[in-house]
Amino acid sequence: MSVHTRRSPNPLTPVAQKFILHWGEMGTRWGINRTVAQVHALLFLSPQPLPADEISETLAVARSNVSTSLRELQGWRIVRVVHVLGDRRDHFESIKDVWEIFRIVSEERKRREIDPTLRVLDECVQEIKASPQGDAYTRERLTDMLEFLTAMTGLFEEVIRMPAGALKGVLKLRGKVVTMLGKKAG
């Protein structure tokens, strides 16, 4: 194929369009930039890695915007650069394994948001303990919250650490597991 012949991007199928638009909306609801989410959706659906300008055309957003979005997605470690023979451009591909995507994004958000919160809560509890006229009620609320979050993230971390296949196993056990946990705990 000649270096200067470049196929223009496949226009999106209606289904792909629907998914990408929805994914973008979901992103915004969870504090993720719409375009970033759309780029991710597109790469997720794409059988081949795509170069930035193709993404730009397909989604009808500025090239520069794609550049920043890709950078962000790489920051989340769910998109990476690959190269194709005879093409100088960077191509980008998304991780395709949904469990893996979920795992990585969760860990990243935990690191960026939950961990700092735990730190702040801990500091609050320490400070209120130290303070002479420390308000007992506030202290109780903060302690509760700290314990809860610590517990939840601990549990979550273990689940998240399971291999991809294990989830299917968990699903087969569903109900049983919960019943058992319920008994032991109740």
Partner DNA sequence: CGGTACTTTTGGTACTTTCTGAATAGAGAG
Partner DNA sequence: CTCTCTATTCAGAAAGTACCAAAAGTACCG
Decide if residue 17 touches DNA (CB under 7 A).
no
Distance CA 164, CA 167 (A): 6
Decide if residue 30 touches a copy of itself (CB under 8 A).
yes
Query: Interaction with a copy of itself in 98-157: which residues (CB under 8 A)?
Result: 98-99, 102, 112-113, 116-117, 120-121, 123-124, 127-128, 131, 134-135, 137-138, 141-142, 144-145, 148-149, 151-152, 154-155
Q: Give the count of residues interacting with a copy of itself (CB under 8 A).
A: 67
Give rounded-to-5 percent helix, strand, coil for the chain: 70, 5, 25
Distance CA 63, CA 71 (A): 12
Distance CA 67, CA 73 (A): 10
| Nearby residues of 105 by Cβ (< 8 Å), 6 or more positions away | 76, 78
- Residues 170, 172, 176, CA angle at the centre, nearest 5°? 80
Decide if residue 3 touches a copy of itself (CB under 8 A).
no
Query: Which of DNA, a copy of itself, none does residue 83 bind (CB under 5 to 8 Å by kind)?
Result: none
Query: Which of a copy of itself, DNA, none does residue 118 bind (CB under 5 to 8 Å by kind)?
Result: none
Residues at the contact surface with DNA, assessed by CB under 7 A: 4, 28, 33-36, 51-53, 60-65, 67-71, 87-90
